[in-house]
Structure 1
């Protein structure tokens, strides 16, 4: 088994996981919209407020954006300043993307993972609950999304670096 085939296999496996996760997370958008509509009808139609429902929207929103970061990277929906990048050929783009992933993205993911550990473990230790009366008693679960985001984003960053390394090595062989 060659290094190239191992990289292809890793890229495929990570991409499959990210695709599945991203498509599953996309359903949270519909859930958020429906629940927000329900909250509005309750509040303005019947004069009833629901803190758990409002917090559920916040939890879905946090889940969507934190766990959807890897999917956004995979499909190229992340923010990119491409004044020069758009004019680059595939090889130059692969260099920029590889170096960006190695120099910036992977260290950022490591920093987020390391710096969030105490924050999340403290929340778990005290089983942190909502500050609102009747709120969702699982703030510790919401905070756990931070290191999970760092892990999933780092995995996708590795896939992107491998994908670009394959572009660089395969174009060099031609």
Structure 2
């Protein structure tokens, strides 16, 4: 395996670990914030808009970063009814084709289409729609294109590692 390919795969693994750490942190914060919101609301009859915004932001971050984490672990959805009846190499070929024909172009289109909205959100430093809510909504909106870029990175890594694995099996 060439140095460029192994370097790319190492970068993809590092980005996956970072994404996983972000997911774990966001999930833990979301759990704690939701518990605190419920206790405040039903135990003390008090609301806390900033905490509710923070929980919503954490949920958005968790959802956005869980996509590339799932893809890196091969947890994406397949139509198993077809693959059960096909030869063993079918899944690898079907996954590679789906990644090249669908995943990479769709997420590249998402990056392209979302960019003007993101640029506008950053230009006005968009904040929560709630009165007294948290600022920084533009930072949360940034997770969508970052997630799309990470999906492309993980998709390319899956295709490359599949091809490397295929060559390794052919050389045996």
Superposition TM-score, scaled by structure 2 size: 0.90
Does the 8 Å CA contact 2:128/2:136 hold for their aligned counterparts? yes
Give runs of aligned pairs for residues 68-107 of structure 1, distance below 5 A.
68-86=66-84, 88=86, 91-107=89-105
Q: Which moved more, 1:36-45 or 1:80-89?
A: 80-89
Deviation per residue, 1:82-124 (Å, 9 max, x gap): 2122455553222111111111110011001000100101111
Deviation per residue, 1:130-152 (Å, 9 max, x gap): 11111011111111111111111
* Candidates 53, 56, 60, aligned match of 1:62: 60
Structure 1: gaps (5+ residues): none
Does the 8 Å CA contact 2:40/2:47 hold for their aligned counterparts? yes
CA RMSD of aligned residues (A): 1.8
- Higher RCO, 1 vs 2 (CA within 8 Å, ≥6 residues apart): 1
Partner of residue 131, structure 2:
133
Structure 2: gaps (5+ residues): none
Report how many aligned residue pairs link the two structures: 172
Partner of residue 162, structure 2:
164
Does the 8 Å CA contact 1:127/1:138 hold for their aligned counterparts? yes
Does the 8 Å CA contact 1:74/1:160 hold for their aligned counterparts? yes
Structure 2 SS opposite 1:130: coil
Structure 1 SS opposite 2:131: coil
